[in-house]
A and B are shown apart, each in its own frame.
Chain A
Amino acid sequence: MSLIALARNTGYAFGENRLTLAAAIILALLALCALFGPSLAPFDPLTTAAAAKLAPPSTLHPFGTDALGRDLLSRVIVAARLDLGMAISAVALSFLVGLALGSLAGYFGGWTDRIVGRVMDTIMAFPLFVLAMGIVVALGNSVLNIIIATMIINLPFYCRFARSAVNVRRDLGYVEAARMGGNGSLMVLLNHIVPNILPPMMVQASLNMGWAILNAAGLSFIGLGVRPPTPEWGIMVSEGASYIISGEWWAFMFPGAALVLAVFCFNMLGDGLRDLLDPRKRV
């Protein structure tokens, strides 16, 4: 597909579905927050002010302040980098590892397939969030390990997808032709099969992003990975939760709303991408 046609198709898909466009714009804004968060934030997200603790939303603090008087708007903005960073790197990792394992299993079949398949089945035999908790505890309580845990629990989806996509292409005419041309197995796989399964895998990844964010935020909500002064949406919701019963709603509402917004936009964008690439799957 030429670049112009791609641009036209993209324009068409966005024109047809305003919600996808809106989601893309909001995501771009969130990405901006993630990239330039510290310089966009009006206050230092870590500076405490005992005099202004739990101040309701005002013109000075549009989102109010938390129990230590830190400006919530700044904290929500700065947290975007950590939240999106964790989700994107986890999804990217499971995309790469899943693609590699899945395509090897799908292409070679036999024992490779059996071993990879059983490992993935073992992962799927656990409730995924519970498994992620277990992995983080076993590996140690850090942000990196949250990423690894999220990567592992998402792995089976990518792996199975890549496996079946490679499997149906393995004996197609053009692959036979490439093999006849003297390419080795890995060359055929890398140059002729994998490029063809990338687009549907990308859709899978974008549909998966929202879930990865929820998972990482859920882990930090129960106190895993991110340490208290660090701004992160999940842990901020859990910090704000104690003040709900006394009516200070802003402390949990705004970080939670940021979380919902990010997940919602990724889901919308994923749906839009899927419509663009595979209109038949539209439900």
Chain B
Amino acid sequence: MKGIFASLQKVGGALMLPIAVLPIAGLLLRLGQPDLLGWAAMAAAGDAIFSNLGLLFAVGVAIPLGVWAAARVNGPVDHACRALVTISAAFPTFFIGLLFVYVFYFLLGWAPEPLGRLNEIVFSAPPRVTGAYTIDALIVGDWRVFRAALAQLILPAVSLGLFALAPIARITRAAMLEALGSDFVRTARASGLPAGKILITYAFRNVLLPVSSVLGMVFSFLLGSNVLIEQVFGWQGVGAYAVSAVIASDYAAVQGFVLMMAILYVLLNLAVDIFATLIDPRVRFEG
């Protein structure tokens, strides 16, 4: 995935410039109306929150799981990891989201109704500062609204994260296995270092690079699935806006949406590449 940016670099500024300018121009054309622009910014903030939560959830579960599975190959955790990876790769995000709504809202009653960002019949939205209800509620100090907005976030974030979990856990496990099988780990073991130190300090550092390169794919997936998840949970976000534009065959709006997502994706990949050079000095000297 880091090849994308490297090759974009190779093509040079000449090609890069129109690629960057086109979508911005498209967005300005489309979102030029002031209230629509504000609305999009607000919706994007809401989207960003739950995508980030989803990513955090995926990374937070997948990496420890992969490390643990690799540390005890063919143990129960390894089998559980393999089962989770296989199953979560087979579930479409929209179906898992609906399944969660049925189980946690209808059957168990734990989750709030899937009405988007906040049940506006019961709660009133906090005054807008960042556009994200959770943060805005915190700024005002309204804990009731904060809790309600946070509760609305959990199911979308988890259903988004579940599918992203599979590639991350798979790569973590494979990279960890490779690191654990290498000579420096054997030397560390022979030197009598504690197992925890070997696992975390010696082996795990080598996992970060492959994981950061698979993140590009995960971002591609997350940006696409946002659209589906917003449909399921009734969020009035950028994805929902795109879907209504799609239904109405509103080309300009769809174009703006696709290109905005593309910019976001390229920027995310850039961030991943920079992160990769930070965690592994070898990357700096390649290409």
Contact = CB atoms under 8 A, between A and B. Distances in A.
Given A117-B7, A267-B90, A283-B174, A221 B228 contact: yes
A129 B246 CA distance: 13
Given A244-B102, A283-B174, A237 B94 contact: yes
Contacts of A264: 86-87, 90
Given A267-B86, A267-B90, A138 B251 contact: yes
A127 B89 contact: no
A218 B228 contact: yes
B41 interface: no
B174 A128 contact: no
Interface string B208-237: 000000000001111111011001100000
Contacts of B275: none
B97 to A, nearest CB: 9
Contacts of A224: 246
Given A129-B224, A222-B227, A121 B4 contact: yes
A108 interface: no
A136 B94 CA distance: 19
Contacts of A244: 98, 101-102, 105-106
Interface in B242-284: 242-243, 245-247, 249, 251, 254-255, 257-258, 261-262, 264-266
Nearest to B92: A214
Contact of B231 (A126, A222, A253): A222
A133 B254 contact: yes
B8 interface: yes
B212 to A, nearest CB: 17
Given A244-B98, A244-B106, A118 B243 contact: no
B11 interface: yes
Contact of A256 (B95, B220, B264): B95
A279 B46 CA distance: 45
Contacts of B102: 244, 249, 252-253
Interface string B44-85: 000000000000000000000000000000000000000000
Interface string A204-247: 00000010001001100111100000000010011001001101
Nearest to A268: B86
B99 interface: yes
A89 interface: no
A130 interface: yes
Contact of B7 (A121, A210, A252, A253): A121
B184 interface: no
B114 interface: yes
A250 to B, nearest CB: 11
A256 B99 contact: yes
B90 A126 contact: no
A267 B89 contact: yes
Contacts of B254: 133-134, 137-138
Contacts of B173: 283
Interface in B195-218: none
Nearest to A265: B90
A133 B258 contact: yes
Nearest to A132: B224
Interface string A161-189: 00000000000000000000000000000
Given A241-B232, A245-B106, A131 B258 contact: yes
A253 B255 CA distance: 33
B8 A218 contact: no
A125 interface: yes
B117 interface: no
Given A130-B258, A223-B246, A283-B174, A263 B265 contact: no
A126 B174 contact: no
B50 to A, nearest CB: 16
B247 A223 contact: yes
Contacts of B99: 253, 256
Contact of B221 (A129, A217, A245): A129
5 closest residue pairs by CB, A with B: A129-B224, A264-B90, A127-B223, A134-B258, A256-B95
8 contacts: A127-B262, A127-B264, A128-B220, A134-B254, A141-B249, A210-B90, A222-B227, A244-B105
Interface of B: 3-4, 7-8, 11, 15, 19, 86-87, 89-95, 98-99, 101-102, 105-106, 113-114, 170, 173-174, 219-225, 227-228, 231-232, 242-243, 245-247, 249, 251, 254-255, 257-258, 261-262, 264-266
